[in-house]
Amino acid sequence: MPDAKQTIASRAGRELEDGQIINLGIGLPTLIANYVPEGVDVVIQTENGGIGVGPAPEPGCEDRDRANAGNQPITLVPGGSYFDSATSFAMIRGGHIDATFLGTLQVDEKGNIANWIVPGKMLAGMGGAMDLITGAKIVYIVSEHCSKDGASKLMKQCTFPLTGAEEADVIITERALFRRHPDTGWVLEEVATGFSLDDIAGCTDMAYAVAADVKLDAFGA
Amino acid sequence: MPDAKQTIASRAGRELEDGQIINLGIGLPTLIANYVPEGVDVVIQTENGGIGVGPAPEPGCEDRDRANAGNQPITLVPGGSYFDSATSFAMIRGGHIDATFLGTLQVDEKGNIANWIVPGKMLAGMGGAMDLITGAKIVYIVSEHCSKDGASKLMKQCTFPLTGAEEADVIITERALFRRHPDTGWVLEEVATGFSLDDIAGCTDMAYAVAADVKLDAFGA
Amino acid sequence: MPKNKVIPIAEAMSHVKSGMSIAVGGFIGQGDPLTLIDHLKTMDVRDLTIYENDAGYRERGVVELVRQGKIKKVVASHIGTTPEIGKAMNEGRLEVEPTPQGTLAEMMRCGGAGLGGFLTPTGIGTIAEEGKQIIELNGRKYILVPSLKCDIAIIRAHAGDTWGNLIYRGTSRNFNVPAAMCADYVIAEVENLYTMGELDPNAIHTSGIFVDAVVRANVEYCTLREEKFNA
Amino acid sequence: MPKNKVIPIAEAMSHVKSGMSIAVGGFIGQGDPLTLIDHLKTMDVRDLTIYENDAGYRERGVVELVRQGKIKKVVASHIGTTPEIGKAMNEGRLEVEPTPQGTLAEMMRCGGAGLGGFLTPTGIGTIAEEGKQIIELNGRKYILVPSLKCDIAIIRAHAGDTWGNLIYRGTSRNFNVPAAMCADYVIAEVENLYTMGELDPNAIHTSGIFVDAVVRANVEYCTLREEKFNA
């Protein structure tokens, strides 16, 4: 059984297009940087104030003034630069980011996303997620298909407070890839190795159509 | 007869306080920089994007990228810096400028200022004046007392479109100095050499009180 | 590695079409994109709407395009430095919409920042509030100014790299920064061109994220030659 | 010549009184004004309201003031990096107002820029719009966010001159820039202090016009020593 997170990050990496400017959320999404396809150059923005994020620094070369939004040390590629938070969110809200990749607690039929609070339990805060979801041209949800208790994260309707309303464009889990179309809603386009169409149906609460040319064994393993 | 503009600029210079940040309008107000009193340091902001404006450069040392809002070459004093127009007006609108000195076409009893358009005739535009009048802590009107046709610029009510409503705090002309008090309105505090209280009354259309300690021969040659 | 955006001026400017809105950087000649304006003079476009602090200085700048009849409307804070503009307006050949300087700068920045608008106290009690929504907040009145999005922006910088990171010099920064933010397609003429990594990442004034095309400025519009330049 | 704003830390911090609002620069430890926060720990003040992206990182930052019971309320985008904050909130010892990161940054900038507020699409359709005025413009809904003015701001910069011109380094710039704009009294701790004229006038990130007091940062919070620093 392959690692779910690496499967998701690897499939997400194949979405990247040359020249795109992307923002990667904390945690799983950060792994996508390891799966940028050969010949594809993307520019990574980090909302705490940097663009052109490169590989992690060599051990011993970390710098307290060079970190991402998760406080991991970073380097910049040539051409990268730094800026303040108001400018960073001008970039984000202003539609200058091509794609954002975010984890989630819940995502639903209408494209609603809930990933910042479990009422009465955990409040991390929305951080930059509300702005990223609103401003990025394509919003990718990259997340395990089910929560730890086995419930589908792909729900009929989110029950937690939303981070963004009708903003999710693509969902990539370790089991499947869905794209949302403005008129017809979610379409199952790909199923990962080791899962059948029935498996996906069994662990997905939101309604979706199956693409005529749905790909089985499309990624993973 | 002393030069009216120099008289006004010289009296205005005596208003300056150590540490103040000021903005000088194009034309007459620019002359005030020549009358900063000994021992008083003021910081001059220019709305096109500089702060710490110093003396004009030596002939031959002018630089196309270093000019004021009237396109006159400038230098910066040590500690000065440059910025963009959005930041410049954040300074201005945000109350970070202590005093602005502006010429005018008309100013009236309520402190209304009209200095950007003569309807049907001349449109220069308001430039940064509306923002300066709104944002600066003290708004000085520095202007000749009468227009070229001899009419008082200090009117009962402005007839031209306003640049700012109820914003003028001090009027300095070659004949007199008035300060506006929130409750009582304009008060004549000083009369220039060569003019009497009657002279001022004769060339001033707006209502004003005369200060109990009004100074005669207060300024000017 | 960010991509190379240096392209021929004709290719960059081919994005400009009749009827478009153009944000123009500069301030009465300080940092005006004269190379791009010169190219626009050779193009067959008309009915352009210009958003700029002014219309240039004396004979140079956007005023040249007005003279050619290419411009329908100028939204500016000040047109006193180009007497031809007032003349064209009075003769009905040009529409001029005066706008407070700070409001114009913020309209551009807000448009680029994805904000719908902002509340400014500037112009309350004047004709600047005519036709605008007034909002009262904490006892103070504000004009609700919608943000600005343009089709094109043309700007000038003192130094730039091939991805479009820009550094301005002195008071030539001005409207070039907000203009660069608010347009669908942003063309920067740069006086000194660098490869990526040559400019200090802490000293960039306009990130390349806002810039679509980079062209070399005509050498006669350069304030300092490359060999003398110290970013 | 602009005046010298370098004063003893106790004199600068004496402006902080109980019940005040404080804007704090930094981002989970990157550029946090730890010297000023350390000093605040020694002061007898309470009921403070903090506006900051977060409450620090792990054990350090504003979280230390929460532990001391000095803080009434934290307005932040993220408190996940300081577990004590969530605990204090759940125990009713602290009020937390979650705010989108871009909205918080813009609230500060707008307050400093004399704007009454701004229209953001961020948070439409979420609880972020609760209690807020919604304005529809060109067919899109926006939240009207009032701008923020604080009594005090505490920030940190990598380099500063005696007038308070500041240069930040790397991702430590973040909220230090907008926080510096929005307060009545702004205190900057600087890692490397310069005399006026030593910093490049084209490379200043925060103009001294926004800064009221400059103090030296504790040497252990400096990322690079002076001899290695190249602005």
Q: How many CB pairs under 8 A join C and D?
A: 76
A neighbours by CB contacts (3+ pairs under 8 Å):
C, D
Catalytic status, residue B144: no
Provide the pairing of β-strand C21-24 with B209-215. Answer: unpaired
As for the ipTM of the complex, it is 0.97
D127-182, pLDDT tens digit by residue?
Answer: 999 999 999 999 999 999 999 999 999 999 999 999 999 999 999 999 999 999 99
Residue type, D227: E
D21-46, pLDDT tens digit by residue?
Answer: 999 999 999 999 999 999 999 999 99
**Which pLDDT does position D225 carry in this prediction?**
56
CATH architecture of C19-98+149-214: 3-Layer(aba) Sandwich (3.40)
**Of D76, D89, D174, which has the smallest distance from its Cβ to A48's Cβ?**
D174
**Which pLDDT does position B120 carry in this prediction?**
81
Please, what CATH class does the domain formed by A4-145+158-174 belong to?
alpha beta
- Give the start-to-end residue ranges of the domains of chain A: 4-145+158-174
**Which pLDDT does position C89 carry in this prediction?**
93
Contact C165 A83 (CB under 8 A): no
Chain C hits for B95, CB-CB cut-off 8 Å, are none
C21 touching chain B per CB within 8 A: no
B60-118, pLDDT tens digit by residue?
Answer: 999 999 999 999 999 999 999 999 999 999 999 999 999 999 999 999 999 999 999 99
- Predicted TM-score of the model (pTM): 0.97
Mean per-residue pLDDT, A60-85: 95
CA distance C186 to B207: 53
Cα C7 to Cα A180, C3, C212, C214: the distances in Å are: 36, 12, 10, 6
User: Confidence band (pLDDT; 50, 70, 90) for D55?
Assistant: very high
User: Confidence band (pLDDT; 50, 70, 90) for A91?
Assistant: very high
C101 touching chain B per CB within 8 A: yes
Q: Which of B15, B17, B38, B47 is the catalytic position?
A: B47
Average per-residue pLDDT in chain D?
95
**Which pLDDT does position A206 carry in this prediction?**
98
Mean per-residue pLDDT, B1-20: 93
- Could you tell me which residues are beta bridge partners of residue C158? none
User: Confidence band (pLDDT; 50, 70, 90) for B1?
Assistant: low
CA distance A95 to A112: 19
Sequence-distant (6+) residues with CB within 8 A of C31 are B65, C25, C155, C156, C157, C168, C171, C172, C173, C174, C175, C176
What stretch(es) of chain D map to CATH 3.40.1080.10?
Answer: 19-98+149-214
Question: Is the pLDDT assigned to residue A85 strictly greater than 90?
Answer: yes
User: Confidence band (pLDDT; 50, 70, 90) for D230?
Assistant: very low
Tens digit of pLDDT at every position of chain C (231 positions) = 678 999 999 999 999 999 999 999 999 999 999 999 999 999 999 999 999 999 999 999 999 999 999 999 999 999 999 999 999 999 999 999 999 999 999 999 999 999 999 999 999 999 999 999 999 999 999 999 999 999 999 999 999 999 999 999 999 999 999 999 999 999 999 999 999 999 999 999 999 999 999 999 998 888 765 544 444
**Which pLDDT does position C59 carry in this prediction?**
93
Average per-residue pLDDT in chain A?
96
Chain B hits for C173, CB-CB cut-off 8 Å, are 49, 82-85
Strand ranges for A121-197 from DSSP E: 122-123, 138-142, 154-155, 170-172, 176-181, 185-191
D93-131, pLDDT tens digit by residue?
Answer: 999 999 999 999 999 999 999 999 999 999 999 999 999
Q: Which of A15, A47, A109, A190 is the catalytic position?
A: A47
CA distance A174 to A193: 9
